[in-house]
Amino acid sequence: MKVAIIGGTGDFGLALAARLVEAGDDVVIGSRDAARAQEKANEVGCRGDGNEAAVGDAELAVLATVADAALATAQTLRAFFRSPVLSVASELEFHDRRARPPAQGRSLAERIDEVVDVPVVAGLHSLAAGKLAHGRPDEDAFVCGDDEEAKTLALELAAKVVAGRALDAGPLASARALEGLTAVIVNLNKRYKGHAGVHVTGLP
């Protein structure tokens, strides 16, 4: 699969790129700075380019910027997207050092869907960059979306980066729960000083 990772110079994007390169995918890391993109891409054995060029011929574009920049980045790249977008970021608020989803009722992925002209799917929110950087974590990954072909691509990608299962979590509206799950995991890790992941039981 040809995958563009926008925000691929960050911890999560770079870790995701490493796992996809390991799986044999054709990966390009995108950044506003093409030289920096290539510098980071060299670390994992793939290509780097400017964001606009990176998304041009991708089969799936992963929007892996920090949450605060995701919507603006999607708007900037609207005219350049030719393939579905996988949104992986989660907006979080912190009160008394505890994470929680923002009061905004819609997910970040749903808002991105409103500003681009290609299908948007959401997923991988329960995966931590630190664990992903060291191999395929032994946990499940979740993907949701309204476009079945786009979701199939995202599930194929997810299956390559975890040792567990890639699970279809339903329509794009489910991104509200998946993004909120990030807050739960952050709080668990802080409370128990661990590295939480998710396994779903009871499925065939």
Would you call 86 helix, strand, or coil by DSSP?
strand
Q: What is the CATH number of the domain that holds 177?
A: 3.40.50.720
Do the domain assignments include residue 201? no
Which is it for strands 98-100 and 93-95: parallel, antiparallel or unpaired?
Answer: antiparallel
In a domain, 199, yes or no: no
- Which residue type occupies 84? P
Note the pLDDT tens digit of each residue in 81-124.
999 999 999 998 888 888 988 877 799 999 999 999 999 999 99
Instruction: Give residue 112's Cα distance to chain centre.
Output: 13
Instruction: Say whether 57 sits in a helix, a strand or coil.
Output: coil
CB 197 within 8 A of CB 138: yes
Name the pTM for this structure. Answer: 0.96
Whether 197 is covered by a domain: the verdict is no
Q: Please name the helix (run of DSSP H) or strand (run of DSSP E) that holds residue 43, with its range, or none.
A: helix 34-44
In-domain check, residue 9: yes
DSSP 105: S
Residue-range definition of the domain harbouring residue 117: 2-192
Q: Is the dihedral of CA 56, 59, 60, 65 positive or negative?
A: negative
Report yes or no on 200 lying in a domain. no
- The per-residue pLDDT for range 10-60, each reduced to its tens digit, is 999 999 999 999 999 999 999 999 999 999 999 999 999 999 999 999 999
